[in-house]
Amino acid sequence: MIQLETLPLSKLSDPNLPAAVFAFEDAGLAGARHLNAGARKRLLEAAKAEGFKGKPGECCPLSWEGRRLIVVGLGRRKGYSREAQRRAAGKLWAFAKSRHERLALWPEDWLGAAQGLLLGSYRFCEYKKEDPDKLTEVFLATASAAEQRAARRALEQARLEADAVCLVRDLVNRGPSDKTPQSLAELAKSFAGLSVEVIDKEQARKLGMGALLGVSRGSSVDPALIHLSYKPKNAKKRVGLVGKGIIFDSGGLSLKPPQHMETMKGDMAGAASVLAVMRALPRLKPKVEVHGYCACAYNMPGPDALKPGDVVRALNGKTIEVLNTDAEGRLVLADALSYAAREKLDAVIDLATLTGAVVVALGSKVTGAMGDRSLLARLAASSRRCEEPFCELPLFEDYAEQIKSSIADVQNIGKVRGEGGSIIGGLFLREFAGEAPWVHLDIAGTAWNDQPSAYCPAGGTGSLVRTLLDYLAGL
């Protein structure tokens, strides 16, 4: 990521330092409050003379009154939100990264601009050396002491969030053989301010985690349940975050087609998100105790792999008839949720790339959510503030009949194939979630980005990390 700092305008007197300013399609300049009305009018007229329209993300280079400028479009004023500033800053980064070494910024919104720049400048270079970007320093230019304070607060928040989001992107983008359950456990142990317990294969067997162990049977690599704890003094609430950590999902004996495996290194995005949120908590300092659980395993078709028709027993004692080994995420979550339920938490939230059905229903920009309505409402408020949308799906009781097995307590897929798959997955998880208010977030569509967006390259996205940090901070 780039080096991003705040700096008073008085220290940016160098006319050779390029600057960026933002403008609406229909309402003139945004931000740049240090410019008087006459200067704002002249600047906008000069940009329009170069063909600038103010369309979202449009970048217009301009020489104006002895200074090099880039005028960036925010779209129409009506309906403007921080997301428009975030996307415009991401587009600015893409435009300026090969043109300038340093850049000053006069945004409409400090936080949105900082988020867009930090997230937009992310690159995954673990396996491929890329030419370094020319632009390395960006300054949030402030015109007053009050603006300086506001910009610094926004930058601190943006850095914390970007660090967490980009950790998720790194973990998801990494090759599946380079992020074993054991290496993720070692990573968790390196986080400052947290306590970490790792439940290995032998401990899982003693505890009775037959579902987690069953999924991993086809792999030569052992599973692990990683339990991270953040315990501040005088915490009044206790929250659990549970992440699906299928490091690679071949489908097991219910083998996926080859093209469907190409992005399955991202099937651990839920666990990656839990790790990233937990790492950020000692910096965020919320007054809430948080427990993170990452259920990590490979789903492979080895000689001892789970077979359709096998029955496993989860930690809470319930038996599961496994009819499709490619519905494995709900199996590892069954044990993780059962383990979290032992903590007597006030709320439990799980994140999982659980079903392709949610992508059919909601596309790749909206997360599916289901569970306790009160908890959902609080998460929805954070989702709106962070502009990471999710849509509630009903846990329709009639569909619960579909997961009743004739030989076990439940079966891991519905009886009517291709119908209500996301809801069926949620109803299955509810069997193991315990008594605490619980919400399931199906991030199968939003955790991965096939095409670059305004502030996210193709690959892992870090979806809902900002929402979860906002929710926890609010507690």
CATH of the domain at 235: 3.40.630.10
Per the structure, the complete domain to which residue 136 belongs is given by 3-166
Strands 59-64 and 67-73: antiparallel
Q: Within this chain, do residues 150 and 179 fall inside the same structural domain, yes or no?
A: no
Same domain? 299 vs 372: yes
Indicate if 203 and 141 belong to the same structural domain. no
What is the Cα–Cα distance from 335 to 318, expressed in whole angstroms? 10
What pLDDT score does 15 carry?
76
CA distance 311 to 313: 7
One domain, residues 299 and 179: yes
Q: Are 465 and 443 in contact (CB under 8 A)?
A: no
Q: Domain count of the chain?
A: 2
The predicted pLDDT at position 242 comes to: 99
SS3 state at 116: helix
State how beta strands 29-30 and 289-299 pair: unpaired
pLDDT in the model for residue 409:
98
What CATH number did the domain enclosing 11 receive? 3.40.220.10
418, 282, 296: which is closest to 352 by C-alpha? 296
Cβ-based neighbours of 472, under 8 Å, separated by 6 or more: 239, 277, 281, 284, 286, 288, 290
Q: What's the start-to-end Cα distance of the chain, in Å?
A: 30
**Dist. CA 367–CA 365, nearest whole Å:** 7
On whether both 195 and 154 belong to a single domain, the answer is no
Looking at residue 31, its pLDDT comes to 85
The pTM of the whole model exceeds 0.95: yes
Identify whether residues 16 and 46 lie together within a single domain: yes
Which of 148, 166, 184 is at the close of a domain?
A: 166
> In Å, what is the CA distance from 155 to each residue of 102, 115, 283, 391, 467?
17, 8, 14, 30, 17
**Which residue among 150, 166, 182 closes a domain?**
166
Together in a domain, 39 and 8: yes
pLDDT at 258: 96
In this structure, are 291 and 314 located in the same domain?
yes
In angstroms, the Cα distances linking 440 to 81, 92, 313, 337, 350 are 27, 36, 22, 11, 5
Instruction: Take residue 459 and report the two structure tokens written for it.
Output: 């690959």
Please tell me whether residues 117 and 196 are part of one structural domain. Answer: no
222 and 320: one domain?
Answer: yes
Q: Tell me what pLDDT residue 318 has.
A: 98
Domain boundary at 131, 166, 201, which? 166
Residues carrying an active site annotation: 256, 330
* pLDDT digit string (tens) for the chain, length 475 residues: 789 999 888 877 777 889 999 999 998 999 888 889 999 999 999 999 999 999 999 999 999 988 899 999 999 999 899 999 999 999 999 999 999 999 999 898 999 999 999 999 999 999 998 888 999 999 999 988 899 999 999 999 999 999 999 999 999 999 999 999 999 999 999 999 999 999 999 999 999 999 999 999 999 999 999 999 999 999 999 999 999 999 999 999 999 999 999 999 999 999 999 999 999 999 999 999 999 999 999 999 999 999 999 999 999 999 999 999 999 999 999 999 999 999 999 999 999 999 999 999 999 999 999 999 999 999 999 999 999 999 999 999 999 999 999 999 999 999 998 899 999 999 999 999 999 999 999 999 999 999 999 999 999 999 999 999 999 999 9
Indicate whether 197 and 303 sit together in one domain: yes
- The tokens describing 34, both together, are 């240090």
Same structural domain for residues 187 and 232?
A: yes
